């Protein structure tokens, strides 16, 4: 009997992954490429974006997700390169350093809300009309956080920004379900990425992560592969009946 060639879960799909120059976003972009998708690497770091673009043989576009004109250019570049768009992973995010809430500055607050919430607003505002005008199904995946569901001290406005991401996502899931546009969140627990030292408020070492990790039943933090596997499933046809969920990728942390 002839062997059937394995077909990737995302074969034929075109995806934008924001913040894919490093951390979880890089893991997501790698997994999507392995699963057969064409991926546009979108990041504010030119250096990291170009490196990943070469590594994955995928187009990079310098993108600041807080700017409408950058989202418009990102959609256009995707259509110019691949002729269509199927999946948007809103992964780019940031935080201020863990600190008492009364010490948070206006700049800390603005950074968090702009990068974490405004990006979701702009992606929806620019890309939903593309799906509707072209009568295409669409898939948005936002990288939210366990911080949205089980907030811990010292990160009030980061946590609140992720809660806004989760609530906006559920709202859009019900609003655009009839148009076959799906919206889901993936909620990682602490990992080891470019942001971890800010979440911890101290250097990202095994010792400094230990207190947090001790609250995770499966006994470790999230890896880029954990987050990428969840995104790959949610982006695939196998998840066609799943919308409006917060998928915790947290080793049981939020139970
Ligand atoms: N690391 C964790 O413990 C953890 C836990 C839960 C959720 N998250 C979320 O995961 C997502 C990815 O973060 P990460 O942990 O991989 O950190 P990271 O710093 O390694 O990656 C974030 C990426 O986003 C990019 N970025 C930042 N601001 C941007 C902007 N304005 N426009 C475009 N790109 C921008 C950065 O250049 C970077 O490549 C974030 O949304 C974060 O909130 C992280």
pLDDT band at 6 (very low <50, low <70, confident <90, very high): confident
The 10s digit of each residue's pLDDT in 32-91 is 999 999 999 999 999 999 999 999 999 999 999 999 999 999 999 999 999 999 999 999
Per the prediction, the chain carries an average pLDDT of 96
Ligand 1 shell residues, CB under 6 Å: 18-19, 21-25, 43-45, 48, 63-66, 91-94, 115, 143, 145, 188, 190-191, 193-196, 199
Compute the distance from residue 133 Cα to the ligand 1 centre, in Å.
31
For 124-170, write each residue's pLDDT tens digit.
999 999 999 999 999 999 999 999 999 999 999 999 999 999 999 99
2: DSSP letter: P
Rounded distance from Cα 12 to ligand 1 centre (Å): 27
Q: Confirm whether 176 is a catalytic residue.
A: no
Write down the pLDDT at residue 52: 98
Q: Over 70: is that where the pLDDT of 191 sits?
A: yes
pLDDT of residue 70: 98
Per domain, the residue ranges of the chain are: 14-249
Q: Is the pLDDT of residue 2 over 60?
A: no
Report how far residue 91's alpha carbon sits from residue 159's, in angstroms, rounded to the nearest whole number: 15
User: Is the Cβ–Cβ distance between 34 and 55 less than 8 Å?
Assistant: no
Contact 73, 173 (CB under 8 A): no
Which pLDDT score is estimated for 209? 87
- DSSP assignments along 155-178, one per residue: -HHHHHHHHHHHHHHHHHHHHHGG
**What pLDDT shows up at residue 241?**
98
User: Domain 14-249 adopts which CATH fold?
Assistant: Rossmann fold (3.40.50)
């Amino acid at each position: 009997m002839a062997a059937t060639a394995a077909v990737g879960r995302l074969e034929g799909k075109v995806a934008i992954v924001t913040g894919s120059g490093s951390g979880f976003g890089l893991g997501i972009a790698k997994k999507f490429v392995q699963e057969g998708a064409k991926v546009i690497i979108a990041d504010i770091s030119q250096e990291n974006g170009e490196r990943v673009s070469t590594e994955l043989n995928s187009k990079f576009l310098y993108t600041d997700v807080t700017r409408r004109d950058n989202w418009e250019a990102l959609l256009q570049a995707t259509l110019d390169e691949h002729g269509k768009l199927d999946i948007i992973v809103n992964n780019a995010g940031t935080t201020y350093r863990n600190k008492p809430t009364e010490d948070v500055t206006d700049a800390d607050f603005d950074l968090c809300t702009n990068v974490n919430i405004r990006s979701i607003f702009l992606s929806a505002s620019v890309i939903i009309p593309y799906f509707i005008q072209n009568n295409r199904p669409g898939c948005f995946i936002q990288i939210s956080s366990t911080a949205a569901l089980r907030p811990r001290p010292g990160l009030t406005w980061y946590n609140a920004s992720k809660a806004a991401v989760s609530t906006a996502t559920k709202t859009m899931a019900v609003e655009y379900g009839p148009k076959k546009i799906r919206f889901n969140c993936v909620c990682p627990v602490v990992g080891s990425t470019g942001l971890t030292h800010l979440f911890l408020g101290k250097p990202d070492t095994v010792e400094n992560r230990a207190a947090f990790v001790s609250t995770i039943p499966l006994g470790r933090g999230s890896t880029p592969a954990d987050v990428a596997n969840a995104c790959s499933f949610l982006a695939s046809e196998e998840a066609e009946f799943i919308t409006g969920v917060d998928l915790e990728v947290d080793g049981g942390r939020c139970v």
